[in-house]
Chains A and B, each alone.
Chain A
Amino acid sequence: MSFYALWQEQDWQSVQQSVLDCTQGDVEQALQRQGKRTVEDFMALISPAADAYLEPLAQLSAQLTRRRFGHTMQLFIPLYLSNLCANDCSYCGFSMSNAIQRKTLNEQEVEAECRALKKQGFDSVLLVTGEHERKVGMAYFRTMLPVISRYFSHIAMEVQPLSEAEYAELRSLGVASVLVYQETYNEQVYAEHHLRGRKQDFKWRLQTPERIGQAGIDKIGLGALLGLTDWRTDSVATAMHLRYMQKHYWRSRYSVSFPRLRPCAGGVEVAAEVNDRQLVQLLCAFRLFDAELELSLSTRESAYFRDHAATLGATHFSAGSKTQPGGYADQAIALEQFSTEDNRSPLQVAEALQKQGLQPVWKDWELGLS
């Protein structure tokens, strides 16, 4: 059974209500659970009732994280290849109806970006594009990946959903990890925010992680865009999705991200805000749900928040991010996907981590091994 079919058996309102109905007793049981925690435990840990237990939750999360990951933080940087997009999404600065300057990097420009990033110390890169099958599709990736893989030992991608065969080809071109965020697991809300383009196909997107797993990609990233609708219900769906994926595609590693909706050109109002306290609760709940899970916090979050959250459960930080194509080699360009909060340089982020006793790690994998 596909996750799509499994999720269709769930009723959004009932899931939402079950989380709200969790008691302090449920939270205590979830905190004290020996062995693997259940989705019900996760629901209790993100429930309003768990707010009173935030400190013990954070303590447990910090312990589990140090036990599994040691005193390290993996650093990576997004490399925006293109902001062309054939979708209209209410929350994204790249939306086709936004009158921003469009740019797709050519081979020389990609190389210039790679060199600029390499100079900053990064060996792990996340390639990002808008969704434009024709101009920024497999043919483009086939040309650019051999260039990029000369510079980085770990390549992750966050691009439009592809077919299983295309993921298998990306893998052979050196892509070790693929991130595809569902944005929201609420099919109706999803329809309200995706107004044009192939991204309107909820089912195709929801089944993407399964195609990635089938293609044998080493690491798969999941997540919901927090703020489109009730973040708790979306997070329960993410947790269920994660468990489903882990059962069926057990050779892959998994990561979860917690992007909070950020202001962007022509963007929507945040419908359901997640405050800092709740974001910490969510991050720690995921850690208790899965001790091996990689948890990523981007520069969407402030330096203050990230410095404190670093020891609580996060394992991956981006740093020095520019969300516009060509932004590393040429500082003057301004056509960003969203505005970042933590604008420190990678070196400054690394120093802040070291002050907290965490070693910044710039490398994730040796390409020659795969």
Chain B
Amino acid sequence: MTWMIDGVELQSRLLSGSGKFGSASLMRAALEASGTEIVTLALKRIEHDMQSDDMLSATADLPLHLLPNTSGAKDAKEAIFAAQLGRELLQTNWVKLEIHPDPRHLLPDPVETLLAAEQLVKQGFTVLPYCHADPVLCKRLQEVGCAAVMPLGSPIGSNQGLQTRDFLQIIIEQASVPVIVDAGIGAPSHAAEAMELGADAVLVNTAIASSGNPVVMARAFAQAVSAGRQAFEAGLAGRHNGASASSPLTAFLE
């Protein structure tokens, strides 16, 4: 089953990043193996003379939607500037909004993110905000017009999996836009778990790029995401609730 962001129909539910790969050719091979249709790239890393940008030239002929991110921005003002730069350089209204003032854990700033999201939506951007797994914040981000929400599973790059599982579940249950679990997914099993919960998609970068064999790992993630989604659609069987022989609660209806 396909899914949509901002009216764009997508097959793959695995979003990838473009950082941390050993070479541009390895990145290209991994992206192809992942089947991803959306790849993020950090605006701070793009060469402004785009012809000389390794990442862009290595993937120019692939059918990818580029999703520039504002990584490195410390507040709303910087993020808005970065988003405008991305629009100009890459000719896309899509932006992954990332604001992390804390350089140690790279945790997103909820206040600045909401402020920036509201303004960017008004400026015509399709905003996909990276945020904490905070159900109320996700509601607020939807209300200001974000096209999806991207709550974290655990701190970015930590490979710790879904430490925020219970909150992700609430976010997914309440969402009226796609939920993309971003950050912390370190193994295909983590990705499958997010998909089984009902996430619309996951974003994986470090776990693929930093693996001993990024191409094989990318394929493994693609399969895990697909398996997790199929399991969600089929409906997981729950723990068995045995029917009791007597009918203490409904006997009055006899």
Contact = CB atoms under 8 A, between A and B. Distances in A.
Verify that A and B bind, or say they do not.
yes
Interface of A: 29, 31-36, 53-56, 58-60, 62, 246-248, 250, 276-277, 280, 304, 308, 311-312
5 contacts: A246-B174, A247-B176, A248-B176, A250-B174, A308-B253
Nearest to A36: B173
B238 A58 contact: no
Interface string B225-254: 000000000011111111110011110110
B241 A31 contact: yes
Which 5 pairs between the two chains have the least Cβ-Cβ distance? A32-B238, A58-B249, A308-B252, A55-B247, A56-B243
- In terms of DSSP, what is the predominant structure of the interface of chain B? loop
A237 to B, nearest CB: 19
A183 B36 CA distance: 48
A280 B244 CA distance: 18
Given A55-B244, A246-B174, A32 B239 contact: yes
Interface residues of B, number: 24
B169 interface: yes
Contacts of B44: none
Contacts of B237: 29, 32
Contacts of B176: 247-248
B120 to A, nearest CB: 22
B197 interface: yes
Contacts of B173: 35-36
A360 B236 CA distance: 38
A278 B239 CA distance: 26
Contacts of B197: 35
Contact of A29 (B174, B235, B252): B235
Contact of B250 (A54, A247, A304): A54
A250 B241 contact: no
A276 B254 CA distance: 10
B139 interface: yes
A88 to B, nearest CB: 36
B219 to A, nearest CB: 29
Contacts of A35: 169, 173, 197-198
B253 to A, nearest CB: 5
B249 A59 contact: yes
A277 B253 contact: yes
Nearest to A311: B249
A34 B232 CA distance: 11
Main SS of chain A's interface residues? helix
Contact of B236 (A34, A36, A58, A246): A34
Given A55-B250, A250-B139, A32 B241 contact: yes
B86 to A, nearest CB: 30
A222 to B, nearest CB: 18
A58 B250 contact: yes
Contacts of A58: 249-250
Nearest to A63: B241
Contacts of A247: 174-176
A1 B206 CA distance: 38
Given A33-B236, A34-B236, A59-B244, 7 more contacts: A29-B237, A36-B169, A55-B248, A56-B242, A277-B250, A308-B253, A312-B249
A34 B240 CA distance: 11
B246 to A, nearest CB: 8
A235 B174 CA distance: 21
A199 to B, nearest CB: 30
A34 B169 CA distance: 11
A308 B254 CA distance: 12
A40 to B, nearest CB: 9
A56 B242 CA distance: 8
B249 A62 contact: yes
B116 to A, nearest CB: 22
A54 B246 CA distance: 12
B249 A34 contact: no
B239 to A, nearest CB: 7
B244 A60 contact: no
A53 B250 CA distance: 11
Contacts of B198: 35
> Which of B174, B238, B249, B252 has the most chain A CB within a 10 Å cutoff?
B249
Contacts of B236: 33-34
Given A35-B169, A247-B174, A280 B235 contact: no
A55 B173 CA distance: 27
A62 B175 CA distance: 28
